[in-house]
Amino acid sequence: MTAFYSEYQKVYLSVDCIIFGFDSNKLQVLIGRRNMDPGRGEWSLYGGFVRSDESLDDSAARTLQELTGLHDIYMQQVGAFGNIERDPGERVVSVAYYAMINVKDYDEALLQHYGLQWIDIENVPKMYSDHNEMITKAHGLIRQKMKTEPVGFELLPDLFTLTQLQRLYEAVNGEEIDKRNFRKRIKEMHFIEKTKFIDKTGSKRGAYLYRFNKASYQEDPNFRL
């Protein structure tokens, strides 16, 4: 084992996950009660320490997988948070990641087991340390991202109605969208494909279900909403 940098100090490094979901026409985040000192019992994001044999991205993926059982989830880095006093115990620098999951894929039992709750992004309580800041920054990032990249589908089932999709965009941006204008724009994006299936849970008449075709998107990657 070499020791190139032995004169310098090391720090604890953790990852924290902002897990976004979409339900009841609201953008939501998954939060829980912190189960270790310091700060035990405060509202908190789910996180963990980075191991020496894994990259930051891997660490975030592992942490999310521990919590949800889900693999291959869309995750993006939010940034590193490193104020000295951010952790009341010791110096810990944390790298935040956000994830977007389909709430339906999530095992209710796990939610119970970890004591987690979905909270509307509008009603996030005061949280441990700088976790509010992380959530705010992550929210800004997905808003930006969803305008130009087809990542919103991560929050929906494989098959979805256009109204669902519209409600998602309304929830993320916090403002209403004109239905006809919205659908006009969808029609231009050929990788959002109408299927022959109909969803009757949301209305009496029923609405066509659509699907995001990733392969088709690769051929003509022009997304804008």
Partner DNA sequence: CCAAAAGTGTTCCGTCTACACCCATGG
Partner DNA sequence: CCATGGGTGTAGACGGAACACTTTTGG
Strands 26-33 and 117-120 come out as: antiparallel
Q: List Cα–Cα distances, 51 to 96, 124, 139, in angstroms.
A: 15, 30, 27
CA 42 – CA 174 distance, rounded (Å): 27
CA angle 178, 184, 188 (to 5 degrees): 145
Residues contacting 223, CB < 8 A, separation 6+: 148, 149, 150, 189, 217
**Taking the complex as a whole, how short is the minimal distance between the CB of residue 163 and DNA, in angstroms?**
3
Q: Is 110 in the site for a copy of itself (CB under 8 A)?
A: no
Chain residues that interact with DNA, rule: CB under 7 A: 161-163, 178-181, 183-184, 200, 202-208, 224
Among 70, 92, 124, 159, binds a copy of itself (CB under 8 A): 92
Q: Is 51 in the site for a copy of itself (CB under 8 A)?
A: yes
Specify the amino acid at residue 88: P
Segment interacting with a copy of itself, rule: CB under 8 A, options 75-83, 150-158, 159-167, 181-189: 75-83
Q: Is 163 in the site for a copy of itself (CB under 8 A)?
A: no
Q: Work out what residue 213 binds among DNA, a copy of itself, none; the CB cut-off runs from 5 to 8 Å by kind.
A: none
Q: Work out what residue 79 binds among a copy of itself, DNA, none; the CB cut-off runs from 5 to 8 Å by kind.
A: a copy of itself
